[in-house]
Chain A
Amino acid sequence: MSAPLKPPAAETYHRPAGLAGFAADWASDQRAFKNVSWGKAMMWIFLLSDTFIFGCFLLAYMSARMATTVPWPNPSEVFALDIAGAHVPLILIAIMTFVLISSSGTMAMAVNCGYRRDRRKTAALMLVTAFFGATFVGMQAFEWSKLIAEGVRPWGNPWGAAQFGSSFFMITGFHGTHVTFGVIFLLIVARKVWRGDFDTERRGFFTSRKGRYEIVEITGLYWHFVDLVWVFIFAFFYLW
């Protein structure tokens, strides 16, 4: 893969800083993003495309919500829980958000350890991240079943606009799928790290290419993105 060669080009080829440097990189040969590997570039561009998908979902939802002629159910009521006699709005969502954001923290630490080639710590931190992710999905499943029990369906709900349920299931479902894939991805990479694949240059089962610790960071990019998207869903769906 695209491992950087030993003496970086920077020594022989001085690249200017700032905007001029940006222009110089794009005017140069071989790579437009210097020192960005193929895998990372690919993940970034994929995430850009995925942003458009989530953007369209959210815009569609918002346009439905703005256009509705029947009342839109009040999210802080719908997503409230009664805990120990107290009625706490949005509590579950708050915990879910907290869990997911914490998982971003552990992921960042995993990336750091990965680059220090600390096999065990990296794998452990990725497992913790995956655990947080799985917890998030679990809580989401709980939330779904609670709403379903209360009578929310994709085609209608007891409180108002039918688009409430449709958008809710669609958007959180699509996001939850992303988290689930992320968890699977994390487990696979964690296993590889644990086994030392990236130290022994073991080849991938499907691609027959040698993996590198960088894959931890690429997984991290995806994971942070999924978190970030959640923040937007949180803001636009639950807080609006």
Chain B
Amino acid sequence: MVDVRSGLGEALPPPEVEDVELYHPHSWWTRYVFSQDAKIIAIQYATTAIAIGMVALVLSWLMRLQLGFPDTFQLVDAEAYYQFITMHGMIMVIYLLTALFLGGFGNYLIPLMVGARDMVFPYANMLSYWIYLLAVLVLVASFFAPGGPTGAGWTLYPPQALLSGTPGGKDWGIILMLSSLIIFIIGFTMGGLNYVVTVLQGRARGMTLMRMPLTVWGIFTATVMALLAFPALFVACVMMLFDRLLGTSFFMPAIVEMGEQLPYGGGSPILFQHLFWFFGHPEVYIVALPAFGIVSDLISTHARKNIFGYRMMVWAIVIIGGLSFVVWAHHMYVSGMNPYFGFFFATTTLIIAVPTAIKVYNWVLTLWRGNIHLTLPMLFALAFIVTFVNGGLTGLFLGNVVVDVPLSDTMFVVAHFHMVMGVAPILVIFGAIYHWYPKITGRMLDETLGQIHFWITFIGAYGIFFPMHYLGLIGVPRRYYELGETAFVPDSVHTLNAFISIMALIVGAAQIVLLFNLVWSLRHGREAGGNPWRATTLEWQTPETPPPHGNWGKELPVVYRWAYDYSVPGAPEDFIPQNQPAPSRVSHEAAS
């Protein structure tokens, strides 16, 4: 019978393509700066993303200081608040999470995990990073431009994002924001094509799609989605730039500003919303799917158990990816639409809960009676599951039109999306950093510092975002710079706001522990060896750690099994690497 887990028969097909010829750098510059090695590019991507992410973190501090202590600090005025909220949201979603998961982890892990020497087109891959850096610089430039960054909100809705009298549209901010997004998309496409083609066409012998670790599946599906979703944002940005710079009226209706009729007319702001959310909703899964994939591998490795329902997990990832293209209008329930559309989009939204719930069950079932090692990656993975379930449940509320309408634009929404696409993916990123740092640097991160980092971050994040559900239910609106004296707002809201802000400061500060750990362990960490977690996937089987240029030395790896042969009965060790041939048939029989 054909091995169900791989699709391959008994025999191993011969190599189909010649081993690639790598570009060998001749100077320090081409080796470390303008490097074409996916691993270096990954580190460049990750460092840049984390650096700009720190900016977004500081902005959230400033916002929280304002919300928690409106009368004490005079750091932020109403206009700055809108600018910060916009930059915070956009940076977190796109320039941090998307870039870090796909550009960072994607670049590092895909070639290693599928057994390739590098990405298929290293030169384009390198360009991808430099264009991304340019996008970041343009974005940062808007802080220094006349009028500061745009305050349109990360959704950039016109007409307010274009009107000169609003925080969104005045001066240079919105132009730089739109330009930066366009540049980002161009850069991302170069990288994204690489990731997709490497997975489809560049795998090692024996590496079937159904033997790939779920990490690769998650990043791969997310990249495909990004290649199909970013075009909508690209088009929206181009059209909006034209509205702003050339005076076209794609998104601008006839409008009066300051008692003056503007030359706009006939455009549709709703059209922008459709384009934006056709990108925006898949974007949520572009950051969630890599997280799903990575967390599956963390759980399996650190519970020493095969992932439960591997095929189901793969299909769930693919189905979620597909479905997420037909739910976008659930962000527009209050924008006004035909009730039948509302019904349609509510239904599709709730259907996504099915494959998502399957994934959660499978994670839990993987843990069930596993040999759970409470290592740092495992702690973060567990924290992710809890947080994701939490955010997912509130998502079910918001997916229903009747429930969403009163909750829309309240703190409940802020709580929901921070749980599900803020905290949850970030927890996975932390887990992944603790998991793969030993491979990247050859040294372990410090365990004590890691524990401190984990507990403060995990508990603190709940301290920040849990009370927001309650605030939202009371009716505290989102994107308000201060509440003032409002009848429906009880005193407890102010107390809670102060509490949340203190928590936010603590959690933010805890990230310094991680940064310190990252730098300190580079020299002082314990030597990790090649495979400290005793993991099965290929990246842990490289001949050297950190893996050299070309990853594998002379011989490319050959893959004989799936990625989850942990605790196989009868095997000498509790894990069997994917590239280990001999007693495979025996163990497979025993396992199945």
Contacts and interface: CB of A to CB of B under 8 A. Distances in A.
B266 interface: yes
A71 B14 CA distance: 65
Contacts of B248: 154-155, 162-163, 165-166, 170
Given A4-B16, A69-B266, A29 B206 contact: yes
Contact of B18 (A2, A170, A208): A2
B231 interface: yes
B250 A163 contact: yes
Interface string A181-222: 000000000000000000000000011111000000000000
Contacts of B275: 56, 60
A17 interface: no
B200 A41 contact: yes
B204 interface: yes
A53 interface: yes
Given A67-B268, A162-B265, 4 more contacts: A1-B20, A31-B201, A32-B200, A56-B278
A210 B21 CA distance: 9
Given A38-B121, A64-B271, A207-B23, A31 B246 contact: no
B533 interface: no
Interface string B362-404: 0000000000000000000000000000000000000000000
B205 interface: yes
B322 interface: no
Contacts of A9: 13-14, 16
Nearest to A52: B231
Interface stretch (A42-50, A101-109, A125-133, A223-231): A42-50
B311 to A, nearest CB: 12
A3 interface: yes
Contact of A29 (B8, B194, B232): B8
Contacts of A161: 266
A30 B250 contact: no
Interface in B18-51: 18, 20-21, 23
Report which residue of A30, A70, A161 has the largest number of chain B beta carbons within 10 angstroms of its beta carbon: A30
Contacts of A60: 235, 239, 250, 271, 275
Contacts of A29: 8, 12-13, 203-208, 211, 559
A240 interface: no
Contacts of B559: 29
Given A4-B17, A29-B13, A67-B268, A38 B197 contact: yes
B499 interface: no
A27 B193 contact: no
A41 B199 CA distance: 11
Interface of B: 7-8, 11-18, 20-21, 23, 120-123, 189, 193-194, 196-197, 200-211, 227-228, 230-232, 234-236, 238-239, 242, 246-250, 263, 265-268, 271, 275, 278, 559
A46 B193 CA distance: 7
Contacts of B210: 27
Contacts of A166: 242, 246, 248-250
A30 B196 contact: no
A50 B207 CA distance: 30
A142 interface: no
B398 to A, nearest CB: 26
Contacts of B263: 155
A36 interface: yes
Contacts of A232: none
Contacts of A165: 248
Contacts of A48: 227-228
Contacts of A41: 197, 200-201
Nearest to A7: B14
Contact of B227 (A31, A45, A155): A45
Nearest to B238: A170
A208 B203 CA distance: 23
Given A64-B271, A161-B266, A27 B208 contact: yes
14 contacts: A1-B21, A5-B14, A28-B13, A29-B203, A29-B559, A31-B16, A38-B201, A42-B120, A46-B189, A56-B275, A60-B235, A163-B250, A170-B248, A206-B123
A98 interface: no
Contact of A154 (B207, B209, B246): B246
A33 to B, nearest CB: 7
Contacts of B247: 154-155
Contacts of B208: 27-29
Given A64-B268, A154-B246, A209-B21, A31 B200 contact: yes
B304 to A, nearest CB: 27
A155 B246 contact: yes
In the A-B complex, the 7 residue pairs with the smallest Cβ-Cβ separation, listed nearest first, are A27-B7, A52-B231, A166-B248, A155-B247, A56-B235, A53-B231, A207-B123
Contacts of A45: 193, 196-197, 227
Contact of A13 (B13, B23, B201): B13
Interface in A46-78: 46, 48-50, 52-53, 55-57, 60, 63-64, 67-70
Contacts of A52: 228, 231-232
B266 A56 contact: no
Contacts of A42: 120-121, 193-194, 197
A42 B189 CA distance: 11
Contacts of B265: 162
Contacts of B200: 31-33, 41
A154 B264 CA distance: 11
A219 B189 CA distance: 18
Contact of B201 (A2, A57, A174): A2
A26 B194 CA distance: 19
Contacts of B194: 42
Contacts of B205: 29-30
Report which residue of B189, B207, B266 has the largest number of chain A beta carbons within 10 angstroms of its beta carbon: B266
A63 B123 CA distance: 39
A162 B239 CA distance: 14
Report which residue of B13, B122, B235, B263 has the largest number of chain A beta carbons within 10 angstroms of its beta carbon: B235
Contacts of B14: 5, 9, 12
Contact of A31 (B12, B23, B203, B232): B203
Contacts of B227: 45, 48-49
A107 B197 CA distance: 25
Given A45-B227, A56-B232, A206-B123, A31 B189 contact: no
B184 to A, nearest CB: 14
A128 B247 CA distance: 39
A30 B199 CA distance: 9
A206 B190 CA distance: 15
Contacts of B268: 63-64, 67
A57 B231 CA distance: 9
Contact of B17 (A5, A33, A70, A207): A5
B530 to A, nearest CB: 24
A87 interface: no
A131 B219 CA distance: 42
A152 to B, nearest CB: 12
A48 B148 CA distance: 37
Given A30-B16, A63-B268, A155-B247, A49 B231 contact: yes
